[in-house]
Every structure is written in structure tokens, then in C-alpha cells.
Amino acid sequence: MAEPANPATAFSTNGLVDLLAIDNRGTFLALERSFSSGAPGTGNTIKIYEISLQGATDISAYDALNSLSANQRAAIVPVQKRLLLNLNDLKLPTGTDNIEGIEFGPTLPDGRRSIVLVSDNNFSPTQFTQILTLGADVVSTVAPTVETPANFNDPTLPFSQRADSDDPAIYVNAENASKSLVITTAKNAGLRIYDLSGNLLQRINPDNVRYNNVDLIYGFQLGYETVDLAIASDRNNDKLVIFKINPKPNASGQYLEDITDSNIGTIFQAAPFEPPYSASTRSAYGLAAYTSPVTGDSYIFVNRRQTGDVAQLKLVALDRGQVSATLVRNFTIPLPPNSPPGTSAQTEGSVVDRETGYFYIAQEDVGIWKFLAEPDGGSTGTLIDRTRDFGGSNLAADAEGLTIYYGPNGTGYLLASSQGDSTFAVYTRDGNNDYLGQFAVGSNGSIDSVQESDGADVINVPLGPNFPYGLFVTQDGRNLPERIVQGENVTGSLSRHCQCGRPPPGFLHCAG
């Protein structure tokens, strides 16, 4: 009870009196009312909680939890709940009374949604109806339209073969935009290539690899041929893997062909390395591609897990039709001064603005850094936003995947996965990268909402009749509702598509 009854044996009660769904990804406002006889004031305590179903286990198919094994019960993830407001803290002149209803009210002049709370009179001559209006910032939620088949991290498979989706890249087919491709990493299962309807077109799954991130280069000169490339980071081998993209499948049915230099070297493993970092932290992890508007040279930025190390490599065409890479710059992203003990320097998500020449990288615990992308850009960066753990208010750690929506004349948006609250933070592409707002990807029919996204990509050009304003694709960290199978809590990693609409001033809008 919020307040003890007086005397302790007097009547008291506490209950959930109303719920208000505020999006289509399982977020509710819960109104709870507690009453205790003899307590100070009216004896009522009214609290509003945020309830999130994201990540929670669906147990609706079970008659009783005691029918499950101990391991199955231990695997259940409960609903998350956090207190937003105790009305007693508002010190209302009439006090908090028998409030039993919550609903959206009109939009406020500053653009926020209002929340209306209603109290009944309970047939009492001394009680009255009161309406309280509170402001609320509600996260915009977009609806996905396409879902790829789930890539489960299947525990029954050898670790070297387990699929685990991570990072997508959208390839625009210049000959027929509706035939564009979505290329995704599946870690130990290599790469997977999909069409815009989510159909799997090709698997690339050589043995002993762990493809972590992928990005694209258009118009690379390879001998007498101009080709488009897909480049992935191979974490198992600490190398780049470079593929030629075929807009139409070749005679072998391949959309991607491996043209990596057979003698390509490792990136980080020869560098100095000290405990406590394990062997897996020595290798190529996150990745972003960039073709310089100054020189026309193509570069790949690769970061090293946990250490904050970044390498910039120049792609080099070889006479035998392969592509290699040479190191042109490296630097280390620092932790801010006075970082709390245990703060990790880990980085992964990154992107390069191909027009303005800025390299953005997310330091997961800390925030988003901005560096010059040219090889002579030095090693000093700017922290453009911080996670909430570091005094910011827009990013819930981990800060993860980054992508850019290009607008005319240097305008547009930098999008960042705020993995801790399963939203995407939106910043201006120009100027000081001002924060504009956030959005989430909700559910749509059988397609569940997106949680804990590792990576995303966005394109602002028409991709056929189904995506006339472009395409946003993101990895989904959980395939909800989770289900319990043979004592295991099984989740999936999916890629989602939603159609990007014409963005109104100051914000990116997507509509299914």
C-alpha cells in the first residue's frame, strides 16, 4: 500500500483501474489507485506508470505457470514498469480523489498530447468530478510493411553456423529500382541478400567467418569496368571481405561475388594488445564506407570492439580483378574525462556523410562522435550527443547503428539507434547536428515491433511502386512474442522495411 491504514486493521486496497495504449509497440500508461482508511488527506494515492511489453514473454498459452518446468519459468521475461508520476507530488488544492479513468485529450498548443484523468463522485454528496490535464511527449511510431524470415541464433547448431542478423545495407539498382536489394549480415552464417518483398535471394556462408557489418561503394573503377561493391567486416579473421554486386544474378545465380584480394592482410591483430581484452576484441567489428568527393578514392572505416580503435583503409583495385585495402589512418576514440569505473570504450555503429565528409561513430556507453572523414582529418573528434548515463537526454545506451537520410543542399537527418529504449534518435544532418526527436517502429498485423536495433539503413530515392518515397530497413533484436521451446527462451533477429514518406520540416516521417 502507498499509505498504511490507521489503525492497521482498517480497510485498504490497491489496484489497477485503467490502461491507455500510447503506441503500437506495447507501451501503456497504467493508472493505479490506492486507498487506506485513516490515512492522511483523502487516503487516496494515485500513480501513473509506464508499462512496456517489449521483450516480455507471452505466457497467454499457458493455463498456469506452475505447469512449466523450473528452467522454463526462469526463462520468462516479465513486463517492465516504471513510475512516471505520483499525483500527491503535485499538491493539488483539492487533493487526489477517486480517480479511475485515463485517456488522451486534445493536442496542446506546444504540440504535446494531453492526458486527461477523470474522478467519479462515487455517489457521495461531498465528492465531485474533477478533470486533470497533463502534457505528454509521445514517441512517434511507424508501421513496418515487410518482414524477412527470422534468423534465429539456434542453440542446436554449432556456434560456427549460427545465424544472427546484425547490420543491413540497401543497394539501389540503377537499372530497375524496384529490383533493388537488401544485404544483411548474419554473423557466423555470413551474408544474406533479400529482394524488397523480403524474399531470400542468396546466402553467402563460407566456413569460419563472422560477418559483423556491411556497407556499399558505388561506381568503383576495377580495371576497365565500373562496379558497385559490398564490403563486410569479418570478425573471425580480422579482415575486409569485398564483393562485386551484380544488379542481375550472374550465370551462377549470384548477386554478390567475392573479389577480395587473396593476400589481403589483417587490420588490428598485429597492433599492441593488452588484457583484459579477449581475442574477439582484437578484430574488425563495425564498418562504414566512403568515396571522397575530393579525390574520388574509396575508403572503409573499421572499428575494433571495446578498445575504441578506428582504422581507415583505402580500397585498391588489382590487375587480376580483385580488390585489396591499405591502411591510411588510425586513431582511438577516447572515453570522456572522469568516466565512471567500468565504462566501456566499445564502438560499432558508424556512417560517413558522403557529401559533407564527416565520419560519425557511436560509442555505445557514451554517445555519438563526429570526425573528419578525409585521411588527413586528424584524430580529434566532437561528441555531438551523449547517452543518458553521460548527462544526455536523447540516447538510452547502447548507442548503436547510424544511418543518414540525404536531403537537398546538405539538409537531411542523422538517425541513431537508441537501443536502450528501442527508438531511433533523429538529428539534423547539417550544422551542429541538433536533436529533433525520436521515433520507433511498431507492430503491423503479424509483424511485431522492433526492439534493441543493432543497425539500420535508409534511402530517400523511389524504389518502385511499393516504396515510392524510399525505404528504411532495420535489424530487430527480438522476434516477439517470445516463446518457450524445450526449456529455452528463443528470440529472433529480423530485418524490417517501412516506407519513408515526405518528411515534414524538422522530422523524418515514415508511413506503412
pTM for the full model? 0.79
Predicted pLDDT of residue 493: 40
Report CA 127 to chain centroid distance, whole Å: 48
Predicted pLDDT of residue 14: 86
222-268 pLDDT tens trace: 999 999 999 999 998 999 999 999 999 998 899 999 999 999 999 98
State the fold for domain 141-499.
Neuraminidase (2.120.10)
Strands 309-317 and 225-234: unpaired
**Measured between alpha carbons, how far is 170 from 149 in angstroms, rounded to an integer?**
17
16-73 pLDDT tens trace: 999 998 877 788 999 998 888 876 666 678 888 888 887 788 888 888 888 888 888 8
Q: 349 and 298 in contact (C-beta within 8 Å)?
A: no
102-143 pLDDT tens trace: 888 888 787 777 888 887 766 666 555 556 666 666 677 888
Other beta carbons within 10 angstroms of residue 445's beta carbon come to: 10
Q: Is residue 494 over pLDDT 50?
A: no
Q: 497 and 198 in contact (C-beta within 8 Å)?
A: yes
**Maximal CA-CA distance, the chain:** 93
Concatenated DSSP letters of 487-499: TEEE-EEEEEEEE
Tell me 57's DSSP state.
Answer: B
Across the range 333-339, mean pLDDT stands at: 88
Query: Which range has the worst mean pLDDT, 40-44, 160-164, 330-334?
Result: 40-44
Structural domain spans, the chain? 12-138, 141-499
Most trustworthy range by pLDDT among 78-87, 347-356, 391-400, 446-455: 347-356
**Measured between alpha carbons, how far is 290 from 359 in angstroms, rounded to an integer?**
9
Mean pLDDT of the chain: 84
Q: Which three cell numbers stand for residue 201?
A: 535471394
Across the range 262-285, mean pLDDT stands at: 72
Across the range 168-180, mean pLDDT stands at: 95
Angle, CA 113 vertex, CA 109 and CA 117 arms, to 5°? 115
Q: Is residue 490 over pLDDT 50?
A: no
Place of cell 563486410: 232
Collapsing DSSP to helix, strand or coil, 408 comes out as helix
Across the range 358-372, mean pLDDT stands at: 96
182-229 pLDDT tens trace: 999 998 889 999 999 999 999 998 888 889 999 999 999 999 999 999
- In percent, the amount of the chain with pLDDT more than 70 equals 83
Q: Is residue 434 over pLDDT 90?
A: yes
Q: Which three cell numbers stand for residue 76?
A: 520468462
